[in-house]
Structure 1
C-alpha cells in the first residue's frame, strides 16, 4: 500500500537510506543519518508542500519516495527532482515503479511541468525503469561524483508532465 509518510515512518526511512549509503551508489553520500534527521526531513518536505510517500507492508515502511525543488532559483519552480528507495529485501517486485507512478501523479496534480531524475549512470535498472515511465535521457555528466573509491557518472533523465506552451 502506498500512503503519505508520517513521523512514525522516520526510523524505517532512515534504515532504508542508511542501507543505500552503505551498499549502493543510489545515494552519493557517505554519512549515515538517524531517525530524527528523517523526521525533520519529512516535516520540512511536507511543510513545503512536497509529498513523502511510503510503501507499507505489515505495518512498516519498506520503501519511500519524494520530490522536491530541482534547483533553488525562482526560474526552476515548476521543475522537481525525485528520489525513490526500496528496502533491499523488497526490491524487484515493482514497488519502485508504482511509487514513481504515484509521484508523477502528485507532480501533475501539483501543477509541476518537469520531473528530473539524477541517477548513477551505471545503474541500468533504474535508467530502464525511468525510460519505461516515459523519462527521456537528456545527458550524462562524467565523473561528477565519487563513492567506493571510484568516479561516478551522473545520468540526467526528465519527464515533461504536461503540454503547456507557456509557464
Structure 2
C-alpha cells in the first residue's frame, strides 16, 4: 500500500483530526486501557504501557498505516488506525481498523469523524476492503458502520470471552473504489 500524505490535518466543528505524534501516546494509552478495563470493544485483559503504544505506533507507521487522533480543546478525544487484516500477501489490499473515543467524548460524533478520515486514507492508500470486527451487542458501533456504508459479512458465535462471558463477533466490510490488485501494496 502506498504511503498516504501524513501531513493531512482537518478541522471540523472545533475537532482537529491529525496524525498522531509521540506526544499523544499517553492519551492513546489511557483511552486504550479504559476500553480494556471497562468495555468489550477490546477483547484483551492486559493493560498496556507507553512502550507498548510506542511500538504499536512505530509498527503501524513503518507499514504506511495511519494513526490519527481527534483533538478537542487541546486534548486527545479519540484515535483511530488500521493494520493488516491477515499476514499473507494475498490480503495486502484489506485492512482491519480500530477507533476508540475517550469515555467523556462518546456520543459526540468524534468516532464518526475518525472513521470517515480512515476511509479517505484507506481509499488513497490503495486499500480495497476495510474490515470491522465488532462485539455483536455493540449496536451503536454496528449502526455507525452501516451509516458509513459497511455491510454485515457474518457473525461468529462465542469466539471470545471477557468479563466472564462468551462474546459473539459481528464482522462488517466496506468495499472501496477499486484498488489495483496487481500492485504490491507495500509502501516500503
Please give the TM-score of this superposition, normalised by the length of structure 1.
0.97
Give the equivalent residue in structure 1 for 2:144. 129
Task: Map 1:8-23; keep pairs closer than 5 Å.
Answer: 8-23=23-38
Aligned length: 167
CA distance in structure 2 between the partners assigned to 1:58 and 1:94 by the alignment: 15
Q: CA deviation at 1:166?
A: 5.6
Q: Is the 8 A contact 2:130 2:174 kept in 1?
A: yes
Alignment match, 1:159: 174
Shift of 1:165: 9.0
CA RMSD of aligned residues (A): 1.2
Structure 2 unaligned blocks of 5 or more? 1-15, 183-188
Deviation at 1:97, TM superposition (A): 0.5
Corresponding residue SS for 1:72: coil
Distance in 1 (alpha carbons) for counterparts of 2:57 and 2:121: 16
Q: Does 2:127 correspond to 1:106?
A: no
Report 1 or 2 for greater relative contact order, CA contacts < 8 Å, sequence distance ≥ 6: 2
The unaligned stretches of length 5 or more in structure 1 are: none
Q: How does 1:50-89 map to 2 (within 5 A)?
A: 50-89=65-104
Residue 41 (structure 1) shift: 1.1
Query: Using the alignment, how far apart are the partners of 1:107 and 1:28 within structure 2?
Result: 24
For residues 165 and 45 of structure 1, do their structure 2 counterparts lie closer, same or farther at Cα, with a shift above 3 Å needed? closer
Distance, in Å, in 2 between the alignment partners of 1:164 and 1:43 is: 25
8 A contact 1:9–1:60 mirrored in 2: no
Please list the CA deviations of residues 108-152 of structure 1 after superposition, one character each: whole Å capped at 9, or x if unmatched: 000110000000011000000000000000100000000000000
Alpha-carbon distance in structure 2 between the residues aligned to 1:45 and 1:96: 20
Runs of 4+ in 1 over 2 A off after TM superposition: 163-167
Q: Secondary structure at the match of 1:9?
A: helix
On the 8 A contact 2:156/2:169 being kept in 1, the answer is yes
Q: Structure 1 residues 54, 72: closer, same or farther in 2, change over 3 A?
A: same
* Partners of 1:135 and 1:157 within 8 A in 2: yes
Query: Which residue does 1:94 correspond to in 2?
Result: 109
* TM superposition score normalised by structure 2: 0.86
Q: CA deviation at 1:4?
A: 0.1
Q: 2:69 and 2:35 mapped to 1: Cα distance?
A: 16
